[in-house]
Amino acid sequence: MESITSKVLYNRELAPGLFTIGLEWKGVSVLPGQFVMLRVSDSLDPLLRRPFGVYKVLSSKSVKSTGAFKGSGIEVLYSVVGRGTALLAARVVGDSVGILGPIGNGFPLPSKKQKLIMVAGSVGTAPFYLLAKKLGRDSTLIVGARGVEARALARDFKALKCRIEIATEDGSVGTKGLVTDLLKKELLKEKSESSVVYACGPTGMLRAVTAVAEAAGVEAYVSLERSMACGIGVCLGCAVKGVPHEPRPGRPPEYAMVCSDGPVFKGSDIEWENL
């Protein structure tokens, strides 16, 4: 884990309120599912960093618009949902952004015999790009979104041998409905023992995905979203109940920290009624 001051390489709006920001970071190495804490302002207001999943690892070849960039970096996918992300959306090329990371434990790599089904709620697609790229084989991505922004969320996965299914609330793209409806259909096509489900998105979606997977006898791994203050397991603000871990000072043994113990957990280990 490092704490660095990075430069903004680009900050692009893919769809209304949906952005990708490129940040310079020399020598960075990120596991699929890890995240970073970003300082979104030059001042101490807001005081706390914001957590974001790492979408891509960049090279000088992948950042064509910045000729002076010769190192490496990361790309973060985010949507504007509050003051912090609005400040991030206002950052321009050359601005400084503080980064703490990479943080957390990512998704375990599925075996060669397992059929990977990735379920993403909106910007929950973020951890799956690195995963699908690393696997380099057929997998399925199910994307859920409110409307037409689903096209932008799925676009990069078309070149990664991913079969893409989309569910939107308004029916403007793909199937009108929920990602769990598409997941049920997908699991019916596959032998349960040959499938594994990875999910990232809102808590309600993760709970529902876990239930669908368990009903089909399929293992599910979920990347939890929680408010975080420190990102290193000290403040205890992102505690979740139900994950067995070794006792640590100041923390009951039945609790885990999403930042340091996660963000990826087995869905069956989470006490969902306490989230």
Q: Is the domain of 272 the same as that of 235?
A: yes
Confidence of residue 42 (pLDDT cuts 50, 70, 90): confident
What average pLDDT does the chain have? 89
Q: Is the domain of 205 the same as that of 117?
A: yes
Residue 262 pLDDT greater than 50, yes or no: yes
Q: Is the domain of 182 the same as that of 249?
A: no
In the chain, how many domains are there?
Answer: 3
Q: What is the pLDDT of residues 235-247, one digit of tens each?
A: 888 989 886 556 6
DSSP secondary structure, 67-108, as one string: TT--SEEEEEEEE--SHHHHHHHT--TT-EEEEEEEESB-PP
Q: Do 99 and 3 meet the contact criterion of CB atoms below 8 Å apart? A: yes
Q: Is the domain of 189 the same as that of 268?
A: no
Q: Is the domain of 137 the same as that of 93?
A: no
Q: Is the domain of 233 the same as that of 204?
A: no
Q: Is the domain of 196 the same as that of 90?
A: no
CA distance 109 to 1: 21
Q: Which of 57, 80, 103 is the last residue of a domain?
A: 103
Q: Which of 63, 88, 103 is the last residue of a domain?
A: 103
Q: Is the domain of 151 the same as that of 129?
A: yes
CA distance 150 to 268: 28
Q: Is the domain of 174 the same as that of 92?
A: no
pLDDT of residue 64: 53
Confidence of residue 234 (pLDDT cuts 50, 70, 90): confident
Tokens linked to 36: 């970073």
Average pLDDT over residues 216-245: 86
Supply the CATH number for residue 23's domain: 2.40.30.10
Residue 196 pLDDT greater than 80, yes or no: yes
Instruction: List the domain range (segments joined by +) for residue 88.
Output: 2-103
Name the pTM for this structure: 0.91
pLDDT of residue 71: 56
246 alpha-carbon distance from chain centroid: 26
Q: What is the pLDDT of residues 15-25, one digit of tens each?
A: 999 999 999 99
Supply the CATH number for residue 243's domain: 2.10.240
Q: Is the domain of 65 the same as that of 85?
A: yes
For 220-241, b/e burial (b = at least 16 CB within 10 A) is bbbbbbbebbbbebeeebbbbe
Q: Is the domain of 78 the same as that of 160?
A: no
Q: What is the pLDDT of residues 137-153, one digit of tens each?
A: 889 999 999 999 999 99
